[in-house]
A and B are shown apart, each in its own frame.
Chain A
Amino acid sequence: MEYFVQLSAIVWKDLLLEVRSRERIAAMGAFAVLAGVLFNFSIDTTAVRPQDVAAGLIWMTLVFGGLLGVGRTFHIESQDGAMQGILMSPAPKDAVFLAKVIANFVLLYAISLLVLGVFALFFGVDVRNNLGWVSLILGLGSLGFVAVATLFAAISTGTSMAETLLPILVFPLLVPMVVFGAGATGRLMAGRPFSEVEGNVRMLGAFAFAAVAAGAVLFRYVVEE
């Protein structure tokens, strides 16, 4: 019980900070919209149908935009010794990690729905029939992504290369998420039934679960002093 109180206190602190400063959500949101605009001009629409490439582009926007925000997870804590403060609090290290993952997930999931809207608008993608399933897939993908990226954000914050190191560490690990997520999203957008992508969704779920569990166990070794 106490565990959840401590966990939700950190989630609340992070979300409140974000609501007040709107630093990360504004950056990620603007990035998502602008990426949609740029992608539109990067495609020769006489050669490929925008609907056919939209799913892949949605996931790439999610990955790049997500790194932009999640990479700064520990930025505020790295100043004025705030990280020491959190680590010295009675909250267990895995609660700190899970709280950070939840707060990041809320942010990224909101952004992923925005990305979906942006691509529906700019690329003429029709997801109304499968909106529920596509939202679930984006949710599972976002969860797996934030779990991996939060752990590695803690690592990269502690190095001299800071955020520049994050994509190098995280991109190779995210291949399964992109394969299963973009594959499922693309098929659902093409009007295929859910039964065809059920395997992808299960794998996305397994990936998210494994990433959260591994992060919760390993986080203490990253932040120990």
Chain B
Amino acid sequence: MTTVGVRRGATGLTLLGLAGLVGLYWLSFFWVSTEATQGVVQRIFYVHVPAAWTAFLAIGISALCSAVYLWLRDDRLDRAAMCAAEGGIVFATIVLTTGPLWGRIAWGTYWTWEPRLTLTLLLWFIFAGYFMVRSATDDPDKGKRYAAVVAIVGALDIPFIHLSVIWFRSLHPQPVVAKPEGPTLPGDMLTTLMFGLGTFTILFFGFFLFRYALEGLRAEADLRARRSAA
């Protein structure tokens, strides 16, 4: 795909995602029924859960692109891995801000060492390390390889971190959608949640393509600058 094509796709997806976001806020504030036991605070769930899903999706894409980058050494894969990691950090930050806000009301405390929250925090730090490694190398190719290794090891460590923090203790609400016997969420809540998942995913890919196009232009500009210097 050409850079112009990527930018067109990015604009389209981002506009669609932003429109979806307006719709999601309308649905979750005015349309969906209030949850009986938790009350109004439960509405943050329609932002929190889609953000968490998108963060994990982004980090999965980043780790996958990193692994293939080490194999094929195509700079486009490294760019994709980096842009996805940036998206992952942004959406993980949303999870880490909405989670404690909800927890303050529902659990009576901003922070608790709850498995899923802990895992998200650790992932946030792993990917903060990903960007620190990139910026702390003089040779860009070295930085790309190092960052790819960080992303792969981080992804491989996720099952261990997940198990260990569950082992430590859990008070997070149990899954209400992805269960073997089918979702137990009431219809309108499920609709709002699914709408949120779709919206956040589209928004992520919009941002991702924008960043990807920008990095592509930056690489082209670097190449041109080097050519004219030579």
Contact = CB atoms under 8 A, between A and B. Distances in A.
Say whether A associates with B. Answer: yes
Given A160-B138, A165-B133, A172-B122, A218 B163 contact: no
Contacts, number: 89
Interface in B115-152: 118, 122-123, 125-126, 128-129, 132-133, 136-138, 142, 145-146, 148-150, 152
B160 A176 contact: yes
Given A159-B137, A168-B129, A179 B145 contact: no
**Which secondary structure dominates chain A's binding surface?**
helix
Contacts of A224: 145
A41 interface: no
Contact of B70 (A161, A207, A221): A221
A172 B129 contact: yes
B145 to A, nearest CB: 5
Given A207-B160, A218-B153, A168 B125 contact: yes
Contacts of A165: 129, 132-133, 136
B119 to A, nearest CB: 9
Nearest to B139: A158
A175 interface: yes
A16 B7 CA distance: 58
A161 B164 CA distance: 30
A183 B167 contact: yes
B18 interface: no
A172 B133 CA distance: 15
Contacts of A161: 132, 136
Contact of B150 (A169, A175, A179, A207): A169
A173 interface: yes
Given A160-B137, A218-B149, A172 B142 contact: no
B165 A222 contact: no
Interface string A147-185: 010010001001111000100110111011001100100
Contacts of B74: none
Given A172-B125, A172-B126, A175-B161, A218 B152 contact: yes
B154 interface: yes
Contacts of A214: 152-153, 156
A183 B142 CA distance: 38
Nearest to A179: B164
Contacts of B30: none
A218 B126 CA distance: 17
B149 A168 contact: no
B129 A151 contact: no
A200 B166 CA distance: 12
B164 A158 contact: no
Nearest to B148: A221
A38 B121 CA distance: 29
Interface string A169-213: 101110110011001000000000000000110010011001000
Contacts of B149: 151, 155, 218, 221-222
Interface in B73-106: none
A176 B157 contact: yes
A-B residue pairs, 8 tightest by C-beta? A176-B164, A159-B136, A179-B164, A176-B160, A172-B125, A172-B122, A169-B129, A161-B136
